[in-house]
Chains A and B, each alone.
Chain A
Amino acid sequence: MEKPLIKVRSLKMYFPVGNRLVGRRSVLKAVDDVSFDLYPGETFGLVGESGCGKTTVGRTLVRLYRPTAGQIVFDGTDIAFLSEKEVMPYRRRMQMIFQDPYASLNPRMTVSSIIGEPMKLQGVPPQEIADRVSELVEKVGLKKDHLNRYPHEFSGGQRQRIGIARSLATHPEFIVCDEPISALDVSIQAQVINMLEDLQDQMGMTYLFVSHDLSMVRHISHRVAVMYLGHIVELASAQELYSNMQHPYTKALMSAVPIADPDLAAKSSRIVLQGDVPQPIDPPPGCPFASRCRFCKPFCREQRPEMREISPGHFVACHLI
């Protein structure tokens, strides 16, 4: 098998919460012991509900956070605990596309300065930046006369294109797409997804595609990991995961997705989970899903299930499988 571009081992990202002066300080375990590999040129989908830690994984991988523990091996180097200065050369090689195209573009910068900024930081000469910026806007389907405008003059879909152009500026090998389409209308979502696929075909980037839209993740991803409460509960190729899911949470999550087909929707039965996602603050030992699982056994509450490979490339963390 190919050598992975990024190896993530036992990644932990904890945030302190609560008052520092009075009372007890608690720990929010946003990501708790997550391991996976990303292979060059693949799209790795990361799905889960809000608060499961999927965005935190993405942000930690590009070192927007300094992880609590674990390894992030990028092309042979562990970048998890490098200093800001040491991590700088790696920033060029990994970029991020953000969820909210309204919040992630500086309203006081023109489109050309937004797209050019990553290159400026990397010390690219101004003339080269100008050339590359005009090349990029065309690549993402915008026009050259858009370059001197400001973000507020664009629609949500166009702004997301500006964000994508910015992320491509430094020829990255790896891009974290953090819910890139969830703020967009249905008809615009397909435009952006097709563009991301085309760009990957042309330039061979690796994507980490973070989303709660399970049908879009199935469409775009080669492999998919399902997260719950800071843990990966199941990981497999997209085809295997969607046809042969094993973990009770994956099954419930998949059955909850509304099907855009009246006949199939009438036939399918939903597994309705009781209750809400628990807070990842001081979580109890044992399986993270135990409190909502229909098949929960006493030992599930005591012992954390290990990730096991049940068939080649298909990993599940559940005591009952």
Chain B
Amino acid sequence: MNNLLEVKNLNTSFKIGVGTVQAVRGISFHVGEGESVGIVGESGSGKSVTMLSVMGLLPDYADIRADSILFAGREMTQMTPKQLRAMHGSEIGMIFQDPMTSLNPLFNVENQLTEPLRIHMKMGKTEARQRALELLKQVEIPNPEARLKQYPHELSGGLRQRVMIAIAIACGPKMVIADEPTTALDVTIQSQILELLEHLKNTTKTSIIMITHDLGVIASMCSRIIVMYGGIICEEGSAREIFYEPKHPYTWGLLNSIPKINGNPDEKLIPINGTPPDMLMPPKGCPFAPRCRYCMPVCREYMAPRTQLGETHAVACHLMHPKAPKVEREV
């Protein structure tokens, strides 16, 4: 499998009145062609900022530094804003969390859906309209002719998200980034949208990056998972490696905080104590050290190096050091 996206040593920080927020601190990852990768983390872990940095969609006061961001063999860090814009919407599609705020309330569905087709694919009005109808059918919107003329406020949350997906896939992108695509939706609508994304993934061979905090969503959708905390990648691996053989205490904590589907309800959950770090003053060492049960003195002083455990499985934790004490996950 060839790599479609390769990010090396990405750092993103924001200068605000009282200092600098270090949202992403030196992360590297890749996404293969046709692969679905999930990025999980809590709010403030840097998962959304990572993808917005890659896309170049952050405001001017963001400071983005990366050794390299390769997309389909081209270096994105060297591109002009114009070149980047040519890629947005054509080669990379995005689906955002809240379809009410990401669709323009002043334009109807047809306007918004044909815009990328006319700009990127240079389609004429009738051709774009035809394609728009096909796209609405593809995302399983009933009665597409009538929907084209409607405005976002006339659509339900689930329908709006389908329109967002139709816009994202309009130009046949190589990669779709879905940032919390189902968080604002009810479970039954969420399952409709997930079903649709899965279907699109299987039929169009598009790579999908799914950003979410919901481990359940990621378990069913993604073949590879990246776990982020405090602006760094603390663990990454295949879905099976992350769910069945997790090695980082934060990943253990995440998995222990959710009730098991067949578990005994009388068993207590094992929470992660404390609160996520303040990225204005991130801890010097491992960002998880202040909340970690297995914290050692070295954890507070130095960031843990990345240890490769298998072909896909890697973890950044000092416990991986041969001289570190052996600890087991509490279950």
Q: Is A203 an interface residue (CB 8 A)?
A: no
Size of the B side of the interface (Cβ < 8 Å), in residues, is 44
Residues in B whose Cβ lies below 8 Å from that of A253:
187-188
Q: Is the CB of A272 within 8 A of B243?
A: no
Q: Is the CB of A216 within 8 A of B220?
A: no
Determine which of A186, A197, A260 lies in contact with B42 in the assembled complex, contact meaning CB atoms within 8 Å: A186
Residues in B whose Cβ lies below 8 Å from that of A261:
219, 243, 261
Q: With contacts A189-B257, A270-B195 known, is A194 near B268, CB below 8 A?
A: yes
Within 8 A of B (CB), among A231-282: 238-239, 252-253, 255-266, 270, 272-273, 276-277
Residues in B whose Cβ lies below 8 Å from that of A187:
42, 253-254, 257, 271-272, 276
* Chain B interface main SS type: helix
Within 8 A of A (CB), among B149-173: 156-159
The listed residue with most B CB atoms (<10 A of its CB), out of A190, A220, A264, is A190
Q: Is the CB of B240 within 8 A of A262?
A: yes
Q: With contacts A272-B192, A272-B195 known, is A258 near B216, CB below 8 A?
A: yes
Q: Is the CB of B186 within 8 A of A49?
A: yes
Q: Is the CB of A190 within 8 A of B220?
A: no
Q: Is the CB of B276 within 8 A of A197?
A: no
Q: With contacts A185-B276, A188-B275 known, is A197 near B268, CB below 8 A?
A: yes
Q: Is the CB of A272 within 8 A of B275?
A: no
Cα A253 to Cα B186 in complex, Å, equals: 10
Assign chain A's interface to a size class. Answer: 35 or more
Interface string of A287-313 (1 = CB under 8 A from B): 000000000000000000000000000
Cα A256 to Cα B190 in complex, Å, equals: 8
Q: With contacts A49-B186, A190-B272 known, is A259 near B256, CB below 8 A?
A: no
Cα A212 to Cα B189 in complex, Å, equals: 13
Cβ-Cβ contact count across A and B, 8 Å cutoff: 122
Q: Is A77 an interface residue (CB 8 A)?
A: no
Distance (whole angstroms) from the CB of A143 to the closest CB of chain B? 13
Residues in B whose Cβ lies below 8 Å from that of A190:
256-258, 269-272
Residues in B whose Cβ lies below 8 Å from that of A220:
265
Q: Is the CB of A265 within 8 A of B219?
A: yes
Within 8 A of A (CB), among B189-228: 189-192, 194-195, 213-220
**Residue of chain A at shortest CB distance from B191:** A256
Interface string of A33-61 (1 = CB under 8 A from B): 00000000000000001100000000000
Q: Is A142 an interface residue (CB 8 A)?
A: no
The listed residue with most A CB atoms (<10 A of its CB), out of B159, B186, B217, B254, is B186
Q: Is A193 an interface residue (CB 8 A)?
A: yes
The listed residue with most A CB atoms (<10 A of its CB), out of B217, B253, B271, is B271
Q: With contacts A185-B213, A257-B187 known, is A262 near B243, CB below 8 A?
A: yes
Cα A272 to Cα B253 in complex, Å, equals: 31
Determine which of B157, B261, B271 lies in contact with A215 in the assembled complex, contact meaning CB atoms within 8 Å: B261
Q: Is the CB of A260 within 8 A of B190?
A: no
Residues in B whose Cβ lies below 8 Å from that of A239:
265
**Residue of chain B at shortest CB distance from A249:** B188
**Residue of chain B at shortest CB distance from A186:** B257
**Residue of chain B at shortest CB distance from A215:** B259
Q: Is the CB of B254 within 8 A of A276?
A: no
Cα A252 to Cα B259 in complex, Å, equals: 20
Cα A218 to Cα B260 in complex, Å, equals: 10
**Residue of chain A at shortest CB distance from B225:** A262
Distance (whole angstroms) from the CB of A37 to the closest CB of chain B? 21
Determine which of B158, B189, B220, B273 lies in contact with A259 in the assembled complex, contact meaning CB atoms within 8 Å: B220
Cα A32 to Cα B75 in complex, Å, equals: 60
Distance (whole angstroms) from the CB of A317 to the closest CB of chain B? 18
Q: Is A200 an interface residue (CB 8 A)?
A: no
The listed residue with most A CB atoms (<10 A of its CB), out of B156, B195, B216, is B216
Top-4 shortest CB links A-B: A258-B216, A190-B271, A219-B259, A190-B257
* 18 A-B pairs with C-beta separation under 8 A: A49-B189, A50-B186, A186-B213, A190-B271, A194-B269, A216-B259, A219-B269, A255-B191, A258-B214, A260-B261, A261-B261, A262-B243, A264-B261, A265-B220, A270-B195, A273-B191, A276-B158, A277-B186
Besides A187-B253, A262-B239, A262-B243, 19 other CB < 8 A contacts? A49-B186, A155-B275, A185-B213, A186-B258, A189-B271, A190-B256, A218-B259, A253-B187, A256-B188, A258-B190, A259-B261, A260-B215, A260-B261, A261-B219, A261-B243, A263-B240, A265-B219, A273-B192, A277-B188
